[in-house]
Amino acid sequence: MTDWTDWIRLYGPAVLAWAFVVGKLVDRRRRAARNGSAIWFILFGLACSLTAMAPAPYRLISEISGVPNLGRLLSHLSILLVAVAAQVMLTRLNESLPPRPVMHIWWPTTVAVAITALFFLADTPVDDVRFAGRYAGEPWVLEYWLVFVAGLAPAFVRTIVLCWRYGGLSGTATGKLGLRVVAVGIACSLLYHVHKAFYFAAADIGIGYPKGFGGLLDRMLPLLAAVFVLIGVTLPTWARALGLSALFGWFGRMRDYHRLRPLWLALYRATPHIALVAPRPALLDLLPTDLDLRLYRRVIEIRDGRLALQPYLDPEVGAAARADADLTGRELDALVEAKMLAAAMAAKRAGAPARDSELVTIAGGLDLQSDTAFLLDVARAYRRSPTAAEPVRGQGVSA
């Protein structure tokens, strides 16, 4: 049983990665996908990296090349390829970001040259897949790892942040979940490489490193990183192939329905006539029937509530929010909308006189799906507003 467990841990991720590479090659729909080539390079780089670090290929690379531990260098060069491809993919997801191919390439290329030079400077004459245990404390090994981590960290941190952000902006449930899973996988990989940097540094200065803790991270983090990234990158494809898209879509709509509730409830409290049906307590509304209809009604009623607040909307509040915010694009529009709505509801509660002004521009999407996505951003910004969701006595509605 232990042998099978070790085999799955050591070789399973590489086999899985190559299976996804082959699947991507035969999937003709990738040609219509804007990110098809970037995803293919991510899968290919991961497959090469995981294969080079598996014990048998690791030894074979050394025997063929005559260079001990060359598999480790090839694995790290492949990880740099993954970092480049991930940034290209994320840049293409956001059309407002200018393409920066030179920025994506020159830094990893510099790091690749540097770690290659340091690899050949280091004295590692015995081929050993347990590289850290044998060569920790040897000259140039710590420098090699620090340069590699320093080169990898900026790309990985940026990729984690963008994956998490774009996961919230994605229009599909599989897209949201896939990007978030990729972010977790890359975080596991970054944590592993930082942990190994500390291990080499401790060995270099003669400080003991906790063996139990370090051994657990060595076993679990690379496996989790590979599995999470592979699943996240390919989730939309295999979810569609297995017929799970409808299920993911249902969960996504349910989540959207509940995330819109605080904003919708606040607008209802300000203008009760916008709701076709009076709000129910949150617990009774946990699993609504006719989810599609209720989500549609919730979006429409939020828009009706916004129109009802038109006499209290202050363009100066929006202008101030736009000037102060360090955001761009849809996130900025959503923040401005949330602050104007919060101020308008507060003004109406306080009995302020209606404003006699022109119609304030309505931001949002061009169809139901894009408008729902925008209102989710508004609802998120509204929940974070210090003036949001103030309780209103006498309404008898549970938030």
- Residue-wise pLDDT for 352-373, tens only, equals 887 765 566 777 777 788 888 8
Region 141-167: what's the mean pLDDT? 88
Mean of per-residue pLDDT scores for the chain: 83
- pLDDT given at position 40: 83
Q: Give me 170's structure tokens.
A: 């994605």
Which residue ranges make up each domain of the chain? 2-242, 248-383
Query: How many other C-beta atoms can be found within 10 angstroms of the C-beta atom of residue 72?
Result: 25
- pLDDT given at position 140: 92
Q: Give me 187's structure tokens.
A: 């975080």
Percent of the chain with pLDDT over 70: 85
Measured CA to CA in angstroms, residue 210 lies from 45, 204, 215, 222 at distances of 31, 15, 8, 18
Over residues 58-101, the pLDDT tens digits come to: 999 999 999 999 999 999 999 999 888 888 877 776 654 455 55
- pLDDT given at position 342: 92
Angle, in degrees to the nearest 10, between helices 245-259 and 173-205: 90
Query: By the 8 A CB rule, do 279 and 321 touch?
Result: no
Query: By the 8 A CB rule, do 245 and 174 touch?
Result: yes
CB burial of 280-289 (b: ≥16 within 10 Å; e: otherwise) equals eeeeeeeeee
Residue 22 pLDDT level (bands cut at 50, 70, 90)? confident
Region 214-222: what's the mean pLDDT? 85
What's the pTM?
Answer: 0.67
Over residues 289-343, the pLDDT tens digits come to: 888 889 999 999 999 999 999 888 888 888 888 888 888 778 888 889 999 999 9
What kind and span of H or E run contains 339? helix 329-349
- pLDDT given at position 273: 92
- pLDDT given at position 108: 85
What CATH number matches the domain at 2-242, 2.40.128, 3.40.50, 3.30.70, 1.20.1070? 1.20.1070
Over residues 84-94, the pLDDT tens digits come to: 888 887 777 66
- pLDDT given at position 27: 64
Is the pLDDT confidence value at 112 over 60?
yes
- pLDDT given at position 371: 86
Is the pLDDT confidence value at 392 over 60?
no
Query: By the 8 A CB rule, do 73 and 50 touch?
Result: no
Residue 389 pLDDT level (bands cut at 50, 70, 90)? very low
Query: By the 8 A CB rule, do 331 and 377 touch?
Result: yes
